[in-house]
Amino acid sequence: MLAQRIGFIVMLTLVTIAFIAVVLPFYSAILWAVIFAIIFYPFHARIGRRLGGYRNVAAGISVLTCLCLVIVPGLVVLSALVRQATQLYQNVQSGAIDLPGLWQSLQDALPAFIRDRIEAIDTEGFAQLRENLSSALLGGGGFFAGRALSFGQNTVAFFLAFGIMLYLLFFLFRDGRELAQAVRRAIPLSDNHTQQFASKFTSVVRATVRGNVIIAIIQGLIGGVAFWALGLKPALLWGVAMSILSLLPAVGAALVWVPAAAYLALSGLWGQAVVLSLVGVFVIGLVDNLLRPPLVGQETKLPDYVVLISTIGGISLIGINGFVIGPLVAALFIAAWSIFVAERHFPEDDPGPARSTVTQPALPQDE
């Protein structure tokens, strides 16, 4: 019997690894199908209750809602972003945007002691610094241009993954409750632990995606309008850049508007620089300070430094999907160790009042 049990476990492990290898090329589609299902499931539940037994119709309406509210607008903005970034890259490469002349004007605007200091630090002075900045700008534009070319060459693969995501999302809406129960039964943990991890998983996904996306949209919209009003083009590109960078707490959109304000000041446009600085500090920064704690921090119960480090680590490890997976791994890590510490102090077999404390360890619960 022991040999059969070991053989079964080995077979189960091998089959699981093989299945993961099969679906791994579409992990992004699967991930975002799960994310959309978690975020929109309360809406789907209301639709399902109103339609009674028409589960397929309710799931179809929920998928169409996701398409209209999130997916299609996101694709439109992404295509406009790639188009503007590619145009900017082409203008720089063709000389329509005179980087040497722009750099010379900025150099002339600097105080003499700053120019002398830079020359003292770098023997090649401004020439080397100008070359580095120009290469960085061309490299960034080339990245977006390459993404646009890659998108055109992999249209079939993109639409295949997109179709898989929608197809899976439909069945997650329709059979999500049964699938969740099956997963909980399969996980080799106690009911209490499974419930806590499932609650933490859903709360972190909702808070990270819903909260960060709302904050990103608001900050990017405010920043893009400010750039457009001040004549900083392409405004859409910089607005989307601020939206993406706002996924990083604390720093975020400041990585875009602070250099832009410095550029305006060095160009002699002090009024515009002051306006952009005021908008950045008192509007964009205020949005982050006011909305991030209730939308992200209070639900995930993660400190800002943990969110920042896990977000940057996740993005550097697996790309844009890391802004969800990074905080999720951090939250599950903290939850697991909290359960371990609680049960170490109050073992499950302990009688008395301490046992009631273990039933619900001191972990944040989803609403």
| DSSP letter, residue 347 | -
212 and 260 in a single domain? The answer is yes
Predicted confidence (pLDDT) at residue 362 exceeds the cutoff of 70 = no
332 in a structural domain: yes
The CA R_g of the chain, rounded to the nearest whole Å, is 26
Poorest-pLDDT segment among 214-223, 241-250, 318-327: 241-250
Boundary of a domain, candidates 186, 218, 250: 186
The two most distant CA atoms of the chain are separated, in Å, by 84
Q: Could you tell me if 218 and 276 lie in one domain?
A: yes
pLDDT tens, position by position, 7-20: 888 898 899 899 88
Domain boundary among 186, 221, 241: 186
Asked whether residue 216 falls in the same domain as residue 181, the answer is no
Residue 2 lies in a domain: no
- pTM for this prediction: 0.67
Structural domain includes residue 1: no
Token pair 């990585």 is found at 255
The tokens for 126 are 């401004």
pLDDT tens-digit readout, 47-77: 888 887 788 898 999 999 988 888 888 777 7
What are the angstrom distances between the C-alpha of 84 and each of 89, 235, 298?
A: 9, 9, 37
Residues 92 and 49 grouped into a single domain: yes
What does the pLDDT read at residue 353? 43
One domain, residues 152 and 294: no
Q: Do 244 and 357 fall within a single domain? A: yes
Query: What's the pLDDT score for residue 61?
Result: 92
How confident is residue 363, by pLDDT bands cut at 50, 70 and 90?
very low
Residue 257 domain-assigned?
Answer: yes
Tens digit of each residue's pLDDT (9 = 90 or more) over 89-116: 676 666 666 556 666 666 666 666 666 6
Asked if residue 85 is part of any domain, the answer here is: yes
CA trace torsion 243, 245, 248, 252 (10° rounding): -90
Total tally of structural domains belonging to the chain: 2
Residue 18 located in a structural domain? no
SS3 159: helix
End-of-domain residue from the set 169, 186, 203: 186
CB atoms within 10 A of CB 12: 10
Residue 21 lies in a domain: no
* DSSP state, residue 357: H
pLDDT of residue 351: 44
Residues 138 and 33 in one domain: yes
One domain for residues 171 and 45: yes
Cβ-based neighbours of 31, under 8 Å, separated by 6 or more = 321, 324, 325
Instruction: State whether 76 and 195 are in the same domain.
Output: no
> Same domain, yes or no, for 195 and 318?
yes
Percentage of residues in the chain with pLDDT exceeding 70? 70
222 and 148 fall within a common domain: no
Q: For residue 293, give its domain range.
A: 191-367
Domain assignment present for residue 3? The answer is no
